Chains A and B, each alone.
Chain A
């Protein structure tokens, strides 16, 4: 079954603390993994994707095929990082995104 699991509904940290938002997936094949972010009253937007291997706004995510995980990390959280974060995947033929439940990140001053 194709599934994305984000175990935490809410993650609350203080400014400057490290952040890790967890994402595990189930997919038979080679999926592409993404993190989308939704800031308050804004649209879903792509944060990063595993094939790019880049860091966006200080966030990184490494695809671990052995653990079927794609956790999102940032060493020092900022207040402006507060948002909903969604992990998602597509199959190797592209197309539809399968989303996790989302994790709300709250960064306190």
Chain B
């Protein structure tokens, strides 16, 4: 069964450094998402992406964040200058569509744990 994959599984970085988190969505999916979960807190939506542009973003997704689909398979989240509070588990998800009774299930990757020191 196809799965969303994410690399790396764990990223440790120094405050102020740039990080890129990578995701490979399921191949026939068209909608892509990033979520994050700070330890002990709820899973929070960051951004959704469709047709090579952001379709929705949350208040968390400020100018320090960007997303890109550099080729036909990867979907990346970049944090330009990491802060301590960016430490979290970052989940990528994809769906065939955003709307539809049986096609909009979001499939999640295993997550990347980002630790900012």
Partner-B contacts on A (CB < 8 A): 36, 42-46, 49, 51-52, 86, 88, 90, 93-102
Contact = CB atoms under 8 A, between A and B. Distances in A.
B99 A94 contact: yes
Contacts of A46: 105-107
Nearest to B95: A94
25 contacts: A36-B108, A42-B110, A43-B3, A43-B4, A43-B108, A43-B109, A45-B107, A46-B107, A49-B105, A51-B101, A88-B43, A94-B97, A94-B100, A94-B104, A95-B31, A95-B48, A95-B55, A95-B98, A95-B99, A96-B48, A96-B56, A97-B35, A97-B93, A98-B45, A99-B35
Contact of A97 (B4, B106, B109): B106
A93 B56 CA distance: 12
A99 B105 contact: no
B110 A94 contact: no
Interface of B: 3-4, 31, 33, 35, 41-45, 48, 55-56, 58, 91, 93, 97-102, 104-111
Given A49-B105, A99-B43, 18 more contacts: A43-B109, A44-B108, A45-B107, A45-B108, A46-B106, A46-B107, A93-B98, A94-B97, A94-B104, A95-B31, A95-B55, A95-B98, A97-B33, A97-B35, A97-B106, A99-B35, A101-B41, A102-B43
A99 B44 contact: yes
Give the interface centre of A90, A96, A102 by most chain B CB atoms within 10 Å: A96
A52 B101 CA distance: 8
A45 B111 CA distance: 12
Contact of B56 (A42, A52, A95): A95
A93 B99 contact: yes
A49 B43 CA distance: 18
A43 B41 contact: no
Contacts of A42: 110
A97 B45 contact: yes
Give the 7 A-B residue pairs with the shortest CB-CB distance, closest first: A94-B99, A94-B98, A44-B108, A96-B45, A99-B43, A43-B110, A101-B42
B42 A99 contact: yes
